[in-house]
Structure 1
């Protein structure tokens, strides 16, 4: 099992992320929770983890400074940086420090699972398969199966949908831009998606974004404002997002959030 330490000054985030990781049924085990850099360094000395999830915004020593210390003393540790703020400079510094990924809170469970799948593959490339039990999860088994049916068009669609899954939060994503990336005509792409997936490009993207919004609202740990949620899933206009959400879910995001209150 890959051993994980989570570093965040908020208890609810530490416990919530630990629960997320354990529920994913992948070969990761959280062996320690730390509130700050000092606790994290002490845990790493004692346990020698493979992975570090670390919040950037912490008092005293922030996550980026902690990563600098970690890289000097524990070269093989793979770090995932977490932030509640979409600051380009944070992301740039994290990449310069060779962080594996940079994630914005709140993180939908499906996004975390996708990251863990990539992280598992990355760790296997470093350590080999001998150090970890091979676990085939439902997510691994079905990933891409629905679209790889043998035709070249299906293979391309698999790549397109993977791209949409990875970057659904980009407010500038549209069919023309994505079609151009994959050297396709935008009308043809949308038509092929309708034929093979039962949804046009816009329908597919909208349903994905709404499902991500529901994931976040379903978790009581995320006390997120509706305007911030809209931005999180790719909409710059809160009212447009709320209207789409209500059309598809039957209630507004706020009503959905408070439905069990």
Structure 2
């Protein structure tokens, strides 16, 4: 079991991440949480975690400075930066400090679970504890395309990880995987029953629904559109309604009324 600390000045984020981690059924447990850097440093003197989730924006010391201190004192701690600031500069600095990953709040549950699977594999590799956990292996098997096509599986995995990129297009994917664009589209249709655009749209709308279902996040529709890869809020809303049968705001209110 991997021990986790969460550092965030927002109690809803600390509690939400704790809940998601517990529900993931992966070998992680939250053994400590802190509101700020000083509190976390005290916690780490009592018990060193395997994984540290750190918010960038905190009152006493930002997450990047905390990460520098942690890395200098606790070399094996694996850090994940979590922030509401979707800016490349923060991600770049985090990666330079050897952060394992960088996630932008709010985080869909499915994205967090995928990250935990990667963390589980990484922790096994550095702690010499054998192969992937049974949960991770099972999940990976379930995520394969029906006929097990390696290339299409890699492409869908890439889309699943990069869905928030507004410049994600079939042309870009074809070039990245050294495939003819027409051939790629045909293969996706044959193997998945969906075109590239249909698959990407389905992933994005699914992520949007996840975030709207998370009552702990009062996300604005414009921010939600950007979060899932759309630069135009009105286009996103029309697309969401065509797929779900109601606009994002109606879907959000429905969730609140059902609670």
* Structure 1 residue 141 displacement after superposition: 3.4
* Structure 1 residue 134 displacement after superposition: 3.6
Rounded to whole Å, the distance in 2 between the matches of 1:29 and 1:45 is 18
Deviations 1:3-52 (A, max 9, x none): 00000000000000000111000000100110000111111111111000
* Structure 1 residue 183 displacement after superposition: 1.0
The structure-2 alpha-carbon separation of the partners of 1:239 and 1:147, relative to structure 1 and needing over 3 Å to count, comes to farther
2:59 corresponds in structure 1 to: 59
Task: State the TM-score, normalized to the length of structure 1.
Answer: 0.95
1:6 corresponds in structure 2 to: 6
2:193 corresponds in structure 1 to: 198
1:236 corresponds in structure 2 to: 231
CA contact (8 A) 2:146 2:191 kept: no
Deviations 1:166-220 (A, max 9, x none): 1010000010110111111111111111111010000000000000000000010
Q: How does 1:9-48 map to 2 (within 5 A)?
A: 9-48=9-48
Deviations 1:86-136 (A, max 9, x none): 122111110110000000000000000100000111000100226x99442
Task: State the TM-score, normalized to the length of structure 2.
Answer: 0.95
* Structure 1 residue 143 displacement after superposition: 2.8
CA contact (8 A) 2:80 2:101 kept: yes
2:106 corresponds in structure 1 to: 106
Q: 3-state SS of the aligned residue for 1:112?
A: helix
Q: 3-state SS of the aligned residue for 2:49?
A: coil
Alignment size in residue pairs: 255
1:92 corresponds in structure 2 to: 92
1:157 matched to 2:157? The reply is no
CA contact (8 A) 1:27 1:133 kept: no
Root mean square deviation of aligned Cα: 1.4
* Structure 1 residue 147 displacement after superposition: 4.5
2:120 corresponds in structure 1 to: 120
Q: 3-state SS of the aligned residue for 1:129?
A: coil
Structure 2 stretches lacking a partner, 5+ long: none
Q: How does 1:66-81 map to 2 (within 5 A)?
A: 66-81=66-81
Rounded to whole Å, the distance in 2 between the matches of 1:107 and 1:147 is 30
CA contact (8 A) 1:147 1:157 kept: no
Rounded to whole Å, the distance in 1 between the matches of 2:68 and 2:177 is 37
Q: 3-state SS of the aligned residue for 1:70?
A: helix
